[in-house]
Structure 1
């Protein structure tokens, strides 16, 4: 058993009681937190396998990015000025690029995505894409925690449906006993590019493997228009009728979710992912955040892919969340900073059913944590800062100096311990150049 002592000027737990320990410490045994408290209460005679004195750092829970598409780093900068939030927009931009890639291009994009998330304080992410058999080995090498959803697009075609569902089943089987990676199903969009026939079979797979669904939902009105035309009810109501709301569902974007349906989902394992940068860049809008909050629906924060964000920095996403809500509601106190932090931590943990394991710093939970440099520009005057406001509005992911996942350092004292970033970036650049050559052919 490995036993680490970590001391820091501030330990911000983000637990239910909002514990903040100035001059605090934590004890990590193997992969779990076993003690948190004040350094003055620590017995100086105790021995530890490793003592890490972080000094002027703020230690807090690692962030949970609830909606990503990790291979799409390969496409960053190539769809500027286009919306990806309609089926036509997606097919005429991203799909054109995707048709030119091969499996060898996937790994470098994923590796760089993992590096960017680690560097900016994300310790868990929720991904959805195709080529999952090439994605999960790279995520595993990074040391991050992740829920990986096998992306399914079948457009009502029987051949595609059989192929994709068989591949999804094989993928779910491969991650049955992984300590950090969990497999889910990722129908790209219910009713839009996944037919009711496919959805029924996906539900059977979810039953067999006890997994949830990570899907795009209500990015516009396509699902609702379809369901009203064919069933006379909203997409949420039809999903409920089909039994889908009994499964964990991560509904990315949820921009057009009808307010009348919030009472239906509030007591279900349903999470709306708020992704404001993506919604604004695609000129699509944002989810009705305060209505979701008032109804008691779980809300998590996500960056979406870096083709239309173009950043994995969850601190930046938190700042945008607060600012856009204040602007839209003409209310400077439209959304509390503590709630925004919850979206980026416990909201994501609840979304994937891991709220008892991650999302806050508490004894017994997994040792997933980050440490930000209090000497970096943006904190002064330290004595006048509200920590929650500072984390949401004043700092960025590039204040992060240390990252631990499952008791292992992935980034320590502003340096990589889990990967060679320049190497994986070079591999991505080479694959990007190859893709550009293919497109010009």
Structure 2
């Protein structure tokens, strides 16, 4: 009798399920069964009705169901600075435009509003988790919780004063208080986020490392983004930044090296030997003319890779489908091999790779029984996606974020038919326009 079957919260039926684990798998005509916010089964569609009763059912006949995307590096609140100063090299962009604008305008309200705007953009593009680095992290945490997205909140440290904190000691003390305040929130995790070797002194790095070991969180920092950064380090410290971090003891399995564009062979070996992860941000690197990271060589040495958008001020989109396509194409050109980075590999970077870097791979990043139901559905019912011989190829090379139809975070639907399930999108646009009028030069 059907009444004896287990009752579950949700059954999602899809034309294809791409679980990411095991690697290379594509499940045809399958269903993902969700209960209590977790994946409890992955079964052929023909069997699901004989095994489960569902309170809710979602049928996706022309869709791919995949894990929610993980944005491994962003400055979410900088959505409010999107397009403020374009077509400039990194340090001029920072020193002449971004940092002065931040000094004038960044506040807890700025961070809350900018992060809410970013969360809406990311959710609609299939991103269910983001790794943030910015001032006023409590405001970012509150915005993420209000949006229903998963977030790794970066507890930033720099050696200069800001509207948020006076010095490195103040940044760390305030960051630790933020972690303590939100520690019980299941959708939040934390990273210590010393900004970069050129903004953090040796003493501050030592404090960060001690604290990271005590509270067992990842380290998230910009590293080897530009050639100028390396030249400045050679002048100030007589070593390249990675070697400086090695001497300070910061290289290790918890380190997320953002950008890692300019790497010598021995530096790739160092990152691999210490089990570091790299957050590859191809659009931002191209826009700022920073270079192209050697991700095929990093992958060949076993370095864990994830994808990041960076902030909307330097991209100018929070779009991981764009980053997947660029990452794969740029790697092919850089290495002169069409197979340098393949479709399944770049999809792993956008999902499980980011989860591994954050220490969340037991919870998210793949469609596996027991994991949280952080899921993204992509509709292939579009003339621009026909025909389809290989759905993973389409995800890497043809799909745009506009094809995302539905998104779930911990089993709760956050996007339905391409629109936010909750929240006022027109209100967010109005809020952004108010900030535009304040910030406009």
**Where on the TM-score scale, by shorter chain, does this alignment land: which range?**
over 0.9
Task: Give the Cα–Cα distance (whole angstroms) in 2 for the partners of residues 231 and 429 of structure 1.
Answer: 44
- 1:388 corresponding residue in structure 2: 392
Aligned match for 1:65, one of 52, 62, 71: 71
- 2:339 corresponding residue in structure 1: 333
Task: Give the Cα–Cα distance (whole angstroms) in 2 for the partners of residues 290 and 66 of structure 1.
Answer: 18
Aligned 8 A contact 2:63 2:378 in 1: yes
State the Cα deviation string for residues 146-194 of structure 1 (Å, max 9, x = none).
111022221499952232222122122222221011121111102x111
**1:206 partnered with 2:212:** yes
Aligned 8 A contact 1:67 1:301 in 2: yes
CA shift, 1:78, in A, is 1.1
- 2:116 corresponding residue in structure 1: 111
> Which 4+ runs in 1 deviate beyond 6 A?
none
State the Cα deviation string for residues 320-374 of structure 1 (Å, max 9, x = none).
1222223333333332111111111111011101122211111111111111112
Q: 1:144 to 1:232 in 2, by over 3 A?
A: same
- 1:423 corresponding residue in structure 2: 427
CA shift, 1:206, in A, is 1.4
Aligned 8 A contact 1:108 1:425 in 2: no
- 1:132 corresponding residue in structure 2: 137
Per the normalisation by structure 1, the TM-score is 0.92
**Matched ranges for 1:20-419 at <5 A:** 20-44=26-50, 46-84=52-90, 86=91, 88-101=92-105, 102-155=107-160, 160-190=167-197, 192-221=198-227, 224-225=230-231, 228-229=234-235, 233-246=239-252, 248-382=254-388, 385-419=389-423
- Between 327-336 and 288-297, report the one with greater CA deviation: 327-336
CA shift, 1:219, in A, is 0.9
**1:10 partnered with 2:28:** no
Task: Give the Cα–Cα distance (whole angstroms) in 2 for the partners of residues 176 and 17 of structure 1.
Answer: 33
Coordinate RMSD, CA, aligned: 2.1
SS in 2 for 1:23: strand
CA shift, 1:257, in A, is 2.8
CA shift, 1:62, in A, is 0.8
Q: 1:331 to 1:257 in 2, by over 3 A?
A: closer
State the Cα deviation string for residues 104-151 of structure 1 (Å, max 9, x = none).
222221111001100111111111011112111011111111111022
Per the normalisation by structure 2, the TM-score is 0.92
Aligned 8 A contact 1:27 1:33 in 2: yes
Task: Give the Cα–Cα distance (whole angstroms) in 2 for the partners of residues 45 and 201 of structure 1.
Answer: 54
SS in 1 for 2:27: strand
Task: Give the Cα–Cα distance (whole angstroms) in 2 for the partners of residues 17 and 82 of structure 1.
Answer: 40
Q: 1:329 to 1:263 in 2, by over 3 A?
A: closer
Task: Give the Cα–Cα distance (whole angstroms) in 2 for the partners of residues 17 and 322 of structure 1.
Answer: 17
Aligned 8 A contact 2:193 2:220 in 1: yes
* Alignment size in residue pairs: 432
CA shift, 1:226, in A, is 5.4
Aligned 8 A contact 1:278 1:303 in 2: yes
CA shift, 1:247, in A, is 5.6
